[in-house]
A = this chain, B = another copy of it.
């Protein structure tokens, strides 16, 4: 039977989580592999999720005073090299253009791995006076990083993202902006993606190449690993000194400006998949689901069924619900599995008997609950149910996450908890050596130091030295 074949095609997530992921992304047609190793084609079903993410984030960026702009894809190699740490971080993975048509270029051009360098170059030209500040721009763009090991959405040679780049007159303002955007990301992750995130500061080892400090948000996946879902960097005046961004301040003196950058990418789609997915495939939160309600006519050969189904679709579409019908000649069982695998939040079934009784059956994807609703009440009940699903998914993910954060006071405990699929919280001395040791002993890394820390002292379980900082460790994507 088609049903079983379908379900069988997705690997068991408890047995082989990576294979489950690959099955889900390919079979739900979120994505396909491009002709060059490490590239991905984002198919319509995947791209529609990205469009919903973009729409939600873009509104938040504009509300916080940012404007969009677009900077060139190609960066002269010399420009990339101006900030020493930055070039060191990115040089090994940049794609280089050396020819245009048949002509060799006089200077090699780098395809942007991120745009700090070219944006700073323009900012140094645009910013003259304190009147030009703050300058708060964002760009939606593609970037290329030639990675060795790749997986769709998680790590690909090219990906789509947004990168905000702001300039301020004071360090305080830059710090404020860095944290503001971190919180915009957090609110978005929780309320739109239904993913509870841990936010905090990255260690020196894990920070962005060239930043003074990096803040990140970490999301827990169903295998207990962490996915860095977004970062917000404070550059201090490091880039403004390297790229000569000076302004004439009110006091008549020239000063170097203070900068931030922050970004999220198509990686978020990977986070959605692994934070909510189950044995049957995707489970998408209503706010980003390309299809929020799938209408399935039952016994559609019977008179009036397809018409009623279409009427319901039109009603839901008219109130702004993303609703589609499946009128194909596949079996009902095949359709159930298909749309479950695709993670559509609500399935609406309507058959001859339902029509007689003036009702339809709704089935929730997140918990498989079935609800009978009067046809007259669909326009009130469906939006309310989608809201409930959105909230319940966040809560479910929160409960899962909280159950998988463990405090540890020894290296043995750390390893044990990590092996069991947990995040681990410890006191930490702050040393790079301890991070390297954790990497070596248990293949985990420091994720974030929570923003609001209790200042009690403890002991670093790795080196045994006194430690005041709390660090969250995890195996990570």
A40 contact set on B, CB distance < 8 A:
72
Contact with B along A87-103 (1 / 0, CB 8 A): 00001111111111110
Contact with B along A115-145 (1 / 0, CB 8 A): 0001001100110000000000100011010
CB distance from A151 to the nearest CB of B (A): 15
| Complex-state Cα separation, A42 to B141, whole angstroms | 13
Q: Is A327 an interface residue (CB 8 A)?
A: no
What separation, in Å, do the CA atoms of A44 and B62 have in the docked complex? 12
Interface size of A as a range: 35 or more
Give this chain's copy count: 2
Give chain B nearest CB distance to A27 CB in angstroms: 13
Q: Is A39 an interface residue (CB 8 A)?
A: yes
Contact A94 B98 (CB under 8 A): no
**Beta-carbon contact of A35 and B79 below 8 Å:** yes
Chain B residues whose CB sits within 8 angstroms of the CB of A158 once the complex forms: 72-74
A125 CB to nearest B CB, Å: 7
A93 surroundings in chain B (CB, below 8 A): 100-101
Q: Decide: B36 and A72 in contact? CB cutoff 8 A.
A: yes
How many angstroms between the C-alpha atoms of A100 and B110 in the bound complex? 9
A93 to chain B, nearest CB (A): 6
Known contacts A34-B71, A70-B42, A73-B158: A91-B101 contact under CB 8 Å: yes
A193 contacts partner chain B, Cβ-Cβ < 8 Å:
no
A100 with B109: in contact, given A68-B44, A79-B35, A118-B34 (CB under 8 Å)?
A: no
Question: With A and B bound together, what is the CA distance between A160 and B126 in angstroms?
Answer: 23
- Chain B hits for A91, CB < 8 A: 101
Residue of B100, B126, B144 touching A73 (CB-CB under 8 A): B144
Cβ–Cβ contact B69 & A100, under 8 A: no
* Bound CA–CA A68/B111 (angstroms): 24
Residue with the greatest number of chain B CB neighbours at <10 A, chosen from A69, A142, A157: A69
Q: A69: which of B39, B41, B92, B126 is its contact (CB, 8 Å)? A: B41
Complex-state Cα separation, A413 to B127, whole angstroms = 53
**Which residues of chain B are within 8 angstroms of A157 by Cβ–Cβ distance?**
74
Whole-angstrom CA separation of A259 from B337 in the bound complex: 32
Report the minimal beta-carbon distance from A49 to chain B, rounded to whole angstroms: 11
Could you tell me if B73 and A41 are in contact, using CB atoms closer than 8 angstroms?
no
The answer to whether A101 touches B97 (Cβ under 8 A) is no
A56 at the interface (CB under 8 A from B): no
Query: Given A41-B69, A47-B68, A125-B32: A74 and B100 within 8 A (CB)?
Result: no
The residue that A122 contacts in the complex, of B32, B70, B74, with Cβ under 8 A, is B32
Q: Pick from B44, B75, B122: contact of A137, CB below 8 A.
A: B44
- Closest CB in chain B relative to A285 CB, distance in Å: 20
A2-38 contacts to B (CB < 8 Å) = 32, 34-36
Would you call A370 an interface residue if the criterion is a C-beta within 8 Å of the partner chain's C-beta atoms? no
A142 closest partner in B (C-beta): B73
Residue of B nearest to A156 (CB): B72
Are B43 and A69 within 8 A (Cβ)? yes
Q: Which residues of B contact A144 (CB under 8 A)?
A: 73-74
What chain B residues lie within 8 Å of A92 (beta carbons)? Answer: 101-102
Contact of A35 among B50, B73, B96, B121 (CB under 8 A): B121
Contact between B76 and A36, CB atoms less than 8 A apart? yes
Contacts of A142 in B (CB 8 A): 73, 141-142
Within 149-180 of A, Cβ neighbours of B (below 8 Å) are at: 157-158, 160
> A93 — nearest CB in chain B belongs to which residue?
B101
Q: Give the docked Cα–Cα distance between A41 and B118 (Å).
A: 10
From B48, B70, B72, B109, contact of A68 by CB (8 A): B48
CB distance from A277 to the nearest CB of B (A): 22
Q: Which residues of B contact A353 (CB under 8 A)?
A: none
Q: A44-B137, A97-B95 are in contact. Are A72 and B39 (CB under 8 A)?
A: yes
A binding-site residues for B, Cβ under 8 Å = 32, 34-36, 39-44, 47-48, 50-51, 67-76, 79, 91-102, 108-109, 111, 118, 121-122, 125-126, 137, 141-142, 144, 146, 157-158, 160
Name 8 A/B residue pairs within 8 A (Cβ), A-sorted. A34-B72, A34-B122, A36-B72, A41-B71, A48-B67, A72-B158, A73-B73, A98-B98
Contacts A42-B69, A97-B111, A142-B142 aside, 11 further interface pairs with beta carbons under 8 A come to A35-B79, A40-B72, A41-B70, A44-B137, A72-B158, A73-B142, A73-B144, A93-B101, A97-B98, A98-B99, A101-B146
> Ordered nearest first, which 9 A-B pairs have the shortest CB separation?
A100-B146, A44-B67, A96-B99, A42-B70, A34-B72, A39-B72, A92-B101, A98-B98, A95-B97
